[in-house]
Amino acid sequence: MQKFLADASEFFPILLQGVGLTILVTVGSLVLSTILGLVWAMMRVSGIRVLSGVSAGLINLIRGIPIIVLLFYLYFVMPDFGITLTALQAAILGLGIAYSAYQAENFRAGIEAIDKGQIEAAQTIGMGWWLTMRRVVLPQAVRIVLPPYGNIMIMLLKDSSQASTITVAELALQGKLIASSTFKNTSVFTLVALMYLTMSIPLILLVRHLEKRASRR
Amino acid sequence: MIELRNVHKSFGAVEVLKGISASVEKSEVVCIIGPSGSGKSTILRCINGLESYDAGDILVEGTRVESKAASIVAIRTQVSMVFQRFNLFPHRTAIENVVEGPIYVKKAPPAEALERGRALLAQVGLSDKANAYPAQLSGGQQQRVAIARALAMQPRAILFDEPTSALDPELVGDVLGVMRKLADDGMTMVVVTHEMGFAREVADRVLFIDGGVIVEQGAAKSLLDQPQHARTQDFLRRVLHPL
């Protein structure tokens, strides 16, 4: 234990630099996946066959490819097509695209959970599709969507470690580098695990709070 | 003001409307009665463009109703609808439900819309419930808010789709009372209902529909008291004397 504490105080500052990148990758891809997921979900429920077909196809395509392969593709293959991304850009883009599929399915479930009578009532007072979405459907869907959204945040935080495979020096990669140069595997990876856990716990509490609030209605 | 000419409508292989022709004049109250599944609600939903129809014409003030056309918005602001299950927006208070259409569809100044909205809530007897959410209201109160919401659009006609069928019996009277006042004020109304007492006292005309066709129509009292057609007689007997 004493040894672990000594190692921890030595490695903590280095790992903390990784935490910064972990948060950056997580937040960046969360924002991107939310926007893309909303777009896919809106296309899916638009009632326009071409749009919902394209959206369904895209979602299945994205879901069927492992995140790590998507990251490799963006970072190692795209330069062959003249598009060179930094490791950080590729990580945010890759995780954002990968998670947009889950976001879209969550948003769609929330939108489709709204009673059809609500939509008809909106139509009968002259609301068009977009106004119905904005004023009637989405405000109600948010309550349904938020708890699963919190879970997606937690998963995304942990999956941001996959960015290490394309050289983003986030928490997992920093840990691996320290471990391979000091051979203090136990101390380093225990510390890394604890740091991920520390970041997850607030999110876990947030999800619990949101679930409680959603069930109250 | 509302005219249906030989309207046909099918859901898949089932034809629910088999050539409906009828008209509703300004300030007229028309009740549609008939067994469930006879196509009563479908008629209202077609008039409002919530359902498309397959053949024939529905005209509102001379404009053909087409559920996918841009003109449907203008028609819906003239012809409001009240639903069996109220369909209030649960995330908005009573007054917010009422002013939603005027503010966001008709672009009325919010202060003006709120003032009118409060007056409408008073008209349906719910001044004290303006800030209550639908979940805090009884079924009868919710339906009266829904009527105020329909009135807020200043429609020329209101379609009522079994407005009291989802209510506890002791709450039916409040809603029917509000509807009767509207009729007295000259509102054009088409009411799908099982309330024969309301039809007899308030309606000008009654249509009896069965199997997707108008079996019989006429002045309310004469149709309800002396139905000519055997199916009408049979239906009224079952409704009025269920035992």
Predicted local distance difference test score (pLDDT) of residue A4 = 85
User: Higher-confidence residue: B239 or A94?
Assistant: A94
Distance separating alpha carbons of residues A62 and A97, to the nearest angstrom:
7
Question: In this structure, are residues A51 and A93 in contact, taking their beta carbons and an 8 Å threshold?
Answer: no
Q: Is B235 an interface residue toward A (CB < 8 Å)? A: no
Q: Is the pLDDT of residue B136 over 60?
A: yes
Which residues pair with residue B188 across a beta bridge?
A: B157
Task: Kindly list the strands in the beta sheet with B213-219, ordered across the sheet, starting from the edge strand earlier in the chain.
Answer: B79-82, B157-161, B188-192, B29-33, B205-210, B213-219
Residue-wise pLDDT for B43-65, tens only, equals 999 999 999 999 999 999 989 99
Average pLDDT over residues B154-159: 95
Mark the ranges of chain A whose per-residue pLDDT is less than 70: 215-217
DSSP character for B52?
Answer: -
Q: Can you give the pTM of this predicted structure?
A: 0.82
- The closest CB to that of A126, out of B85, B89, B101, belongs to B101
Chain A residue whose CA is closest to B146: A121
pLDDT band with cut points at 50, 70 and 90 for residue B199: very high
Average pLDDT over residues B134-161: 95
Question: In this structure, are residues A67 and A162 in contact, taking their beta carbons and an 8 Å threshold?
Answer: yes
C-alpha distances in angstroms, A58 versus A32, A101, A104, A106? 16, 8, 11, 15
- In whole numbers, what is the pLDDT of chain B averaged over residues? 93
A-proximal residues of B, 137-156, CB under 8 Å: 146, 149-150, 153
Predicted local distance difference test score (pLDDT) of residue B112 = 95
Residue-wise pLDDT for A90-119, tens only, equals 999 999 999 999 999 999 999 999 999 999
Mutate one of B41, B83, B89, B145 to test the A interface: name it (highest A CB count within 10 A): B89
Predicted local distance difference test score (pLDDT) of residue A216 = 61
Residue-wise pLDDT for B171-191, tens only, equals 899 999 999 999 999 999 999
Q: Is the pLDDT of residue B37 over 90?
A: no
Residue A127 with chain B: CB contacts under 8 Å: 101, 104-105
3-state secondary structure of B187: coil
